[in-house]
Each structure stands twice: as structure tokens, then as C-alpha cells.
Structure 1
Amino acid sequence: MSRYSLTTRVATREDAPVLAELWSDAVRRADRSEQIADLELVIKGAAASPEQRVVVVEYDDQVAGAVHLRIATLSPINLEPCVQSIHPRVFDHSRRHGVGHALMEAATAFAEENGILHVVTAVPHSSRESNRFMARLGLAPVVMYRVAPTALLRTRISPQRQAPGVDGTRSRVLAARRSLRRARTERLALPE
């Protein structure tokens, strides 16, 4: 047992700089001061809503981890209520001290307080340790959440679509050459 105790509490505005560091890969790409301002708004919004809570866990009087809790539905088409445990994170130097358990305990308690039967969370696909931890707690994988920039998706969905004002002559010439090559190959392959 650790000689340090864990303290779980609701986040305050003063926690925003440390949360910006903890969630650096989850917040929008912006100047650090803008990220801190964003998190101050998130904390303020959660404090004003009975359906949200930002929880921090302190280890040795330092913020060791945090999670954003939100009451929602399982999906837009499955209206079963759930508590979303959004970005449960623990600083690397605080791992293996019970911080992750304390964060998920906070999610479970929030669900129980509100009479909700399901807790949902998402951890990075590449984080083997996080996925194993969640599996040990009984959280099963249900879906894989995928994200792509809109511009990249557009190029993959309709690669032949030309941008406005761009001459499509080159692509039409290449397409015609491919068609001729394909037709020639098919003629040579036919038995006589």
C-alpha cells in the first residue's frame, strides 16, 4: 500500500493548466493559452450542469489524473442513458498507484447517483495498457471510433471530382488512355 493517499475531487478553474498538459493530445490544436481557456470553459460548463462533472484525482497533493463525465445516451439511435467517461487519463509518473481505479470509481459513483445502468469509455486504440485495464474492469469493446480530416475523406470518396476552376483535361486524357489499354488487352485475350 502506498504511503500517499489519493484524493478525488471536482475540478476547479485553477486545474485548467494541468489538465491542458494531461489532455494535450485530446484538446484542439491551438496556442497553449487558448487550450487552457477552452478547458476553463469546459470546467465552468460542467460545474453549471447536473449532467456533467470533471473529476481530478490527486496523488501526493499533485493532480495525477482526470476524467470528464457526462450523462448521454448510448448512441443517437439507442436512447438508453449512460455515463460517458471521456478521456480518463493518468500522468505517466502516477501510474500504478490506483489513480485509474479512482477515476473509474468516480464514473461508477456518478452513474449510481443518477440511476444510470451503463458506463461507457473510450481509450486510444494504440494504448494496449489502457485497453487491458478497461477490460479487467469489465468494459467490453463495442465499436471502433474512427476519425479523419474532412479534406482527406473527400479525396478518398470522390477522387475524380475536380476542384472549382481546375482544368480536368489531363485526367480525362489519362482516363481515355486507360480505357484504350484495357480494350486492347481484352482483344488480345480473346481466343480466335
Structure 2
Amino acid sequence: MMPDPRPLPGRTRAAGRCAAVLRRAQNRPRGGPVPRPPVTVREAVPDDLPDLVALWHEVRAAAGSARAGLPLPSDEAVLALLARARADEAVHVDVAVLGGAVAGVLVTGRAPASLGAELLGRPPVLEVACLHVREACRRQGAGRALLARAAELAERCGTGGLVADVPAQHRDAQRFYARLGFAPGLVRRAAALPALRRALAPAERSAAVGDLLARRRGGRARRAARPAGPAGLD
């Protein structure tokens, strides 16, 4: 079946509203500073479902080669995430609204205590699992507003800072976080188990063959070291 080339309705409407707001700001009379349209951040609600699914599609596309590890966007998955955020104080889903349109999304959660954090004495942090702004709505303060919301949540729950998951190939996002003082931390690498098994198979076979040869050499050495029995009588 051929994929449907038509864009998602939620993506088209929201992106169009963001572009219209930007055009109105750019068409103001010259001679003074151009004011940015106000950005508001609020908790995501089920009515935001079309926009959230469209944003999820954009997140997967921006992740590039890493998108294989991301679940496919679906209404059920988004509604499940919103339900979890309502039931779990450690998880938050917020949206940035620009000119009446959903311009971006923020998903945060308190990172669970890890063995590495306990051994190295790192304080608990708030994890920015997803921060994404529509391309048509960028450079208008939506990303900063969402990150300010994340900082507010971090202070509220008493964590020592923020940690953001950023795809290595997403250069715009890397620059955005770097400008705001985020330093490179630990590199998290991921591998699918089938691919890892294939990569490990030659080494595992080599180790097994080496063990077999070592046992055979040991057996020959033990047999050679045994004293000869008494000679037979003629």
C-alpha cells in the first residue's frame, strides 16, 4: 500500500496558524522593534490530541536514523501518555500555545535513581524526554517558554537540574541547548537486541572454538605426562 502523501490535518492547521501569526508580526510598520506574539504554556489535554500526534510525527522525522527506537504515533499512545501524566506526579506533558495554535510540546519526568548516580553521588534531575517546536513556530520564544516550564517543574520537585535527551544528528536542537548552558553529559547509546546478537556472534563463536582447542591441548598434555605402564611379558 502506498503511503498517503497528504499531511495530517492537525499538522496543517496548526502550522498554518503559526505561519499566519509570524506574517502578521513581520508586516507591522517599520521603524520600531517588532514585538513577539505572546507564548503561553499550559498542561496538555485530550482536546490537543490531533496536534500532539502531528508533533509526535515531527519528532520521529527529526530523530532521523534514531527514529527506529521510537514508537509509531497513534491516538492511543498519546492518550495513554496524558492519562499517565494525570495519575503520576513525576510525569508532565505541556504544550506551548502561540496565536491560539499549539506550537510545541514538552514531556518531562523525574529520572529514577540509577546505580551510576548513587555511586558517583549525582543529585536527582528532571529529565526532558521531549521538547519540540513546529518549524513554522520557531524563533518566537516557544522553545524558551517550554524550557522555563521545565525549570519551574524541576524547582518544584526539588531536583538538582535538568537533563535533556537530544538526538545526536539534530544540530538545531544541540545548538539550542548549548546556547542555554546545557553541557554535554554522558553519551547514551542504544542497540536493538537482534543487531547486537549478530554483532556478538563471531566473537562468541571464536571464544567457543578457543575454549575447545584449549581443552584438547590440555588433554594431550595430561596424557603425555602420564607414566608408562609395565611392559608386557614375552
What TM-score do the two structures reach when normalised by structure 1?
Answer: 0.75
By relative contact order (CA 8 Å, sep 6+), the higher-ranking structure is 2
Match of 2:95 among 38, 45, 56: 56
Q: How does 1:133-172 map to 2 (within 5 A)?
A: 133-159=176-202
Q: Could you report, residue by residue, the CA deviation over 1:55-78 in whole angstroms, capped at 9, with x for unpaired residues?
A: 100111111111111012464431
Partner of 1:142, secondary structure, is coil
Equivalent residue letter for 2:99: D
CA–CA distance in 1 between the matches of 2:187 and 2:149? Answer: 24
Verify: 1:113 aligned to 2:156, yes or no. yes
Match of 1:21 among 54, 58, 66: 54
CA, structure 1 residues 76+41, in 2 after alignment: closer, same or farther (shift >3 Å)?
farther
Match of 1:7 among 35, 40, 43: 40
**Larger strand proportion of the pair:** 1
**Rg (Cα) greater in structure:** 2
Verify: 1:83 aligned to 2:116, yes or no. no
**How many residue pairs were aligned?**
159
CA, structure 1 residues 119+74, in 2 after alignment: closer, same or farther (shift >3 Å)?
farther
Fraction of identical pairs, as percent: 30
Q: Could you report, residue by residue, the CA deviation over 1:38-92 in whole angstroms, capped at 9, with x for unpaired residues?
A: 1111011111111111010011111111111101246443143111111110111
Equivalent residue letter for 1:21: A
Partner of 1:16, secondary structure, is helix
Partner of 2:125, secondary structure, is strand
CA–CA distance in 2 between the matches of 1:161 and 1:40? Answer: 43
Which sits farther off after the overlay, 97-106 or 14-23?
14-23
Equivalent residue letter for 1:10: E
**Larger helix proportion of the pair:** 2
CA–CA distance in 2 between the matches of 1:76 and 1:92? Answer: 38
Q: Could you report, residue by residue, the CA deviation over 1:24-45 in whole angstroms, capped at 9, with x for unpaired residues?
A: 216413xx5xx11111110111
The alpha-carbon deviation at position 95 of structure 1 amounts to 0.7
CA–CA distance in 1 between the matches of 2:96 and 2:150? Answer: 12
User: Contact 2:37/2:140 (CA < 8 Å) preserved in 1?
Assistant: no
* Alpha-carbon RMSD: 2.1
What's the counterpart of residue 36 of structure 1? 75
What TM-score do the two structures reach when normalised by structure 2?
Answer: 0.62
Q: Could you report, residue by residue, the CA deviation over 1:126-185 in whole angstroms, capped at 9, with x for unpaired residues?
A: 1111111101111111122222322111101114779xxxxxxxxxxxxxxxxxxxxxxx
